[in-house]
Amino acid sequence: MAAGLNGGSTLGWVRGILGASWQELYDCAAASPRDDMPLFLPHLHGERTPYLDPRMRGAWTGLGPQHSRDDLVYAALEGVAFAIREAADCLLASGDHVTDLRVAGGGTTASAWRQMLADILERPLTPIDVPGASALGATVLAREVAGIPVTAREPERRRVQLVTRPRPGRVRFHRQRYERYRERVEALRLAAPAPDPVSEVPAGVIGPGP
């Protein structure tokens, strides 16, 4: 399992701060990116996977007078996608090889945002249109553990038609920016104050650890 703290809540904060509707926010994902665009570190709430660090905080970095509100929104979408990639890479490295991913939730219905996610994750993404996707996922896992066969609920033909595939040019672009993003995440973490060993123990951690 990979758990993140900075998805929809962080984008909701960005939307409110910049006065953008959800539609405007997701439309910015379709913009043609430039290498001089700012980077966004989305960790407003600290972060779980892969850091387990409640001290982490967010930032826009690399700002210049040429940047617009749409540039800030684009960077925010990209930064959240980078955080998803960090968690996904951690998860997928611990199990069987996975060639494609399924996505669910309100934001994934926006095609431009889904395309950006596919480009950054470097994997095909298949949206699933089901109510209660989290509950369905828990049921699938329970059936798997119990040895009960899991049968597909949607025709394979329809599922394949909906696949969003990464674009090689954008994959290369975001890969370079992802490396810079990770460097800036580490730089901001190093600048953070030392944690209080009593009051800042992350949720789910018992005892001092190794």
pLDDT above 90 for 100: no
Evaluate whether 171 touches 123 at the Cβ level (below 8 Å): no
Q: Give the domains, in start order, of the chain with CATH numbers.
A: 8-191 (3.30.420.40)
pLDDT above 60 for 107: yes
**How far apart (Å, rounded) are the C-alpha atoms in residues 78 and 205?**
30
Per-residue pLDDT, 131: 65
Q: What confidence tens digit (pLDDT) does each residue in 137-174 have? A: 788 889 989 999 876 554 444 444 589 999 999 999 99
Per-residue pLDDT, 152: 58
Per-residue pLDDT, 205: 42
Per-residue pLDDT, 98: 81
**How far apart (Å, rounded) are the C-alpha atoms in residues 89 and 94?**
9
Nearest to 53 by CA among 192, 187, 198: 192
Q: What is the mean pLDDT of residues 62-75?
A: 97
Higher pLDDT residue, 111 or 104?
111
pLDDT above 70 for 196: no
The proportion of the chain whose per-residue pLDDT surpasses 70, expressed as a percent, equals 86
pLDDT above 50 for 59: yes
Per-residue pLDDT, 70: 97
Per-residue pLDDT, 207: 37
What is each CA distance from 193 to 75, 197, 207, in whole angstroms? 26, 12, 21
Lowest-confidence range among 30-44, 94-108, 180-194?
A: 94-108
Q: What is the mean pLDDT of residues 173-199?
A: 86
pLDDT above 70 for 209: no
CA dihedral (149, 152, 157, 159) in degrees, to 10, reads -120
Contacts of 43 (CB under 8 A, 6+ apart): 5, 6, 56, 57, 58, 83, 185
Per-residue pLDDT, 155: 45
Lowest-confidence range among 42-51, 55-64, 81-90, 99-108?
A: 99-108
Per-residue pLDDT, 158: 44
